[in-house]
Amino acid sequence: MKQVVQNLKTGDAQLLEVPYPQLRSHHLIIRSRYSLISAGTERMVTEFAKANWLQKARQQPDKVRMVLNKVKTDGIAATLDTVRSKLEEPLAMGYCNVGEVLEVGPQVQGFAVGDRVISNGKHAEIVQVPQHLCAKVPTDVSTEDAVFTVLGSIALQGIRLAKPTLGENFVVIGLGLVGLLTVQLLRAQGCRVLGVDLNMERLQLAQQFGAEVALANDSDALLAQSLEFSRGLGIDGVLITAATQSNEPVHQAAQMCRKRGRIILVGVTGLQLSRADFYAKELTFQVSCSYGPGRYDPQYEEHSKDYPVGFVRWTEQRNFQAILDMFAQQKLTVTELLTHRFNITDVAQAYKTLNDNSNALGIMLDYGEGQIQNHAKTISFADPINNKVQASDQETLTVSFIGAGNYASRVLMPAFKQANVELKSVVTRGGVTGMHYARKHGFATATTQTQELLDDPTIDAVVIASNHDSHARFVQAALQAKKHVFVEKPLCMDLAELQQITDQVSQHPQQVLMVGFNRRFAPQVVKIKTLLTTVTEPKAFVMTINAPAITADHWTQDPTIGGGRILGEACHFIDLLRFLAGSPIVHYHLLELVESQAQPMHDKVSISLKFADGSIGTIHYLANGHPELAKERLEIFVGGKILQLNNYRKLHGYGWPKFKKMNLMRQDKGQQACVNAFLQAIRSGSQMNMPVAELLEVSRVTIEIARETC
């Protein structure tokens, strides 16, 4: 199937052939009829992509600070690799779609195959969308009108925040698609509306919709006109639907408002607010979030947990339905807003029109009424890049990936490629990311079919780098399929899953199982291990992790999907100390810093470990620090000597007769060596530097520690 993506380095729109999506719970698969290019949002994204590095940096100062902090801690080379990889990743475009339901996922309610629906689906022939981001189209609403529903909901949410009442005076600044829909919705609620823009054609459209209009180029004239419009009272409320870096729209809005007026930012503007503008009038300023309550809430969107109507009357889905009702009642018109129509195959011309024609408003992509030509769930590359395995005396191994997220695509795939294996397939739930990284790293195919991969007898090993809640299931399935398994941490989510994996390991002793505990393979850690073998005294370890803060709604913090940061990240350091101690963990204790009882994050903890040989270790995993400090630091005290490792770049020894330091030019956390050890174990059948008993022990201890925070 065809899908539109944008190159963030060049700004070029591309039409890719991608695999048919994998059906998921709470989701619908929809065959697109039309999708609408959002002129304001997508033009802004395109302009950002076309900008040079300096211009990009000026537009995103927060990201620049993140990059500079990473340079300080990880070095220039690692930082450049990360930035380049991010800019190379294609961006799937679009969020205004209308089509027909092809498949209904498990636990979906209220939808059936054949329903005509709107969604925030991408520009693609076939899209997969959560059911709460879809709504049925009434029979008396045309498909062409319905494609404007999502944009209408953006306008409606801004209006709901402004709380207009009959007869109030409102100003709409910025008369693009959302602005002109806002004008109509305000008029439908009995408000008097003054539309403000620099474009005469859009001002004329606003007049057709019943608004008075004003040019935005003269602030003094605009202020005088708004005062006259409001009969000397001042404007009751302003909705800013413009897209600009300027602070002027907010300043103009504040100047026009009456005392205690309301300003709602629906679009994008500069936000260097003047206290003087707001202080004397006690103005209210609020930013509107997309389509309404539920947006970016994974429990609402991904798991279909609706908000009770008695407490949240208007969710994003109910806003969709309200806009569709407005179309059905003929209180919204979009005929004049549709300025261009292109077949999906002409997407390059559509985006050229968007960028070159300042009068372009609604640009519709038409997918036709015929059948989709390609429902393939696997895409093969006729010319996979760099997929040639060099001649070697060692057995050539064939490896496939389940998952292509950040770590898999930027670290694991290059590591396996460097290890001289044949890369076969990448499995992802969607397709765009898998396609990109499969082609980039030289895989033969990209697919959305996990079972097809497991059934392939030519695949020797599977790398599992999907969401944490799927790890145990895929590990067991891969072992049963007689595949060797490299699973990115954690191994599993709970003790029941751990027991199931343990049983599978005992039933398949010939299959190699490795967890991505790469720290024990870092060159400086290997040196530390060598030095520690010369001492017999118990050791004291102090591991400090200055972890970056992650919001509570990130998937890794979700106890059912990510399992939290102790399970998903702190396991690395439990394994590291277990490796260096060379002795089983016999006791542990957890102390947790809880900053909020209402929403505990479980990512500010101290973990104490006791080992069978008398050694002790403390892991301070803290997400309340500052990013300028290096992320990881290890100190080891033993027999009157100290070893200090800083962020896998600088290792210093104090009191060691023949060792002072081991510094590296760039950070090396052992990822490549970890992959090499896994492949060597497969080829030779020899014992790994990570015995299965140890990784099972570390997994058990981590799960038990994580349970103490629940």
Query: Domain spans of the chain?
Result: 2-148+306-366, 151-287, 383-516, 519-668+688-708
Largest CA distance in the chain: 89
369 pLDDT band (50/70/90 cuts)?
confident
pLDDT at position 393: 45
Specify burial of residue 243 (Cβ count, 10 A radius: 0-12, 13-18, 19+): buried
Quick one: tokens of 260?
Answer: 């205690």
pLDDT at position 392: 46
pLDDT tens per residue across span 640-660: 999 999 999 999 999 999 999
Quick one: tokens of 496?
Answer: 């029941």
Class of domain 2-148+306-366: alpha beta
Report the mean per-residue pLDDT for the chain. 91
Model confidence at 697: pLDDT above 90? yes
DSSP string, 58-89: HH-HHHHHHHHHHHHHH-HHHHHHHHHHHHHS
Note the CATH number of domain 151-287: 3.40.50.720
Return d(Cα 135, Cα 324) in angstroms, integer: 9
What one-character DSSP code corresponds to residue 552? T
Return d(Cα 238, Cα 544) in angstroms, integer: 50
pLDDT tens per residue across span 241-284: 998 889 999 999 999 999 999 999 999 998 988 899 999 999 99
pLDDT at position 478: 97
**Which residues on neighbouring strands pair with residue 192, listed in sequence order?**
169
Q: Is 685 helix (H, G, I), strand (E, B) or coil?
A: coil
* 170-174, 213-217, 520-524: least confident range: 213-217
pLDDT at position 8: 73
Mark out the alpha helices in 427-581 (DSSP H runs): 432-441, 450-455, 471-480, 495-507, 523-532, 565, 571-581
Specify burial of residue 683 (Cβ count, 10 A radius: 0-12, 13-18, 19+): middle
pLDDT at position 279: 93
Q: Which CATH number fits domain 519-668+688-708: 1.10.274.30, 3.30.360.10, 3.40.640.10, 3.30.365.10?
A: 3.30.360.10
pLDDT at position 432: 86
CA distances from 50 to 8, 36, 363 (A): 7, 21, 20
pLDDT at position 612: 98
Average pLDDT over residues 97-114: 96
pLDDT at position 64: 61
CA distances from 595 to 562, 565, 603 (A): 21, 16, 10
Question: With the C-alpha atoms ordered 479, 481, 484, 488, is the resulting torsion angle positive or negative?
Answer: negative
Average pLDDT over residues 309-321: 97
Q: For residues 439 and 85, which has the higher predicted lDDT (pLDDT)?
A: 439
**Which among 93, 4, 83, 92 has a CA at the least distance from the CA of 43?**
93
Q: What percent of the chain has pLDDT over 90?
A: 75
Secondary structure in 3-state letters for 598-620: CCCCCCEEEEEEEECCCCEEEEE
pLDDT tens per residue across span 2-57: 999 987 777 788 888 889 998 999 999 999 999 999 887 887 777 766 666 565 55
pLDDT at position 389: 47
390 pLDDT band (50/70/90 cuts)?
very low
Return d(Cα 31, Cα 4) in angstroms, integer: 15
Query: Helices (H), strands (E): how many in the chain?
Result: 25, 31
343 pLDDT band (50/70/90 cuts)?
very high
Q: For residues 147 and 60, which has the higher predicted lDDT (pLDDT)?
A: 147
Return d(Cα 591, Cα 610) in angstroms, integer: 15
Does 383-516 carry CATH code 3.40.50.150? no
pLDDT at position 76: 66
Quick one: tokens of 181?
Answer: 């829909």
Q: For residues 476 and 434, which has the higher predicted lDDT (pLDDT)?
A: 476
Return d(Cα 84, Cα 409) in angstroms, integer: 13
Q: Is 433 helix (H, G, I), strand (E, B) or coil?
A: helix
Instruction: Tell me if domain 151-287 and domain 383-516 are identical in fold.
Output: yes
pLDDT at position 67: 60
What one-character DSSP code corresponds to residue 210? T
Average pLDDT over residues 474-489: 96
Model confidence at 568: pLDDT above 50? yes
Model confidence at 377: pLDDT above 80? yes
What one-character DSSP code corresponds to residue 390? P
Return d(Cα 551, Cα 570) in angstroms, integer: 17
Average pLDDT over residues 198-226: 94
Return d(Cα 521, Cα 409) in angstroms, integer: 20
Peptide bond into 490 cis (omega under 30): yes
What is the CA angle 151-153-156, rounded to 5?
120
391 pLDDT band (50/70/90 cuts)?
very low
Return d(Cα 13, Cα 180) in angstroms, integer: 27
Residues 6+ apart with CB under 8 A from 269: 240, 242, 243, 244, 245, 246, 247, 249, 250
Say if strands 284-287 and 257-265 run parallel, antiparallel, or are unpaired: parallel
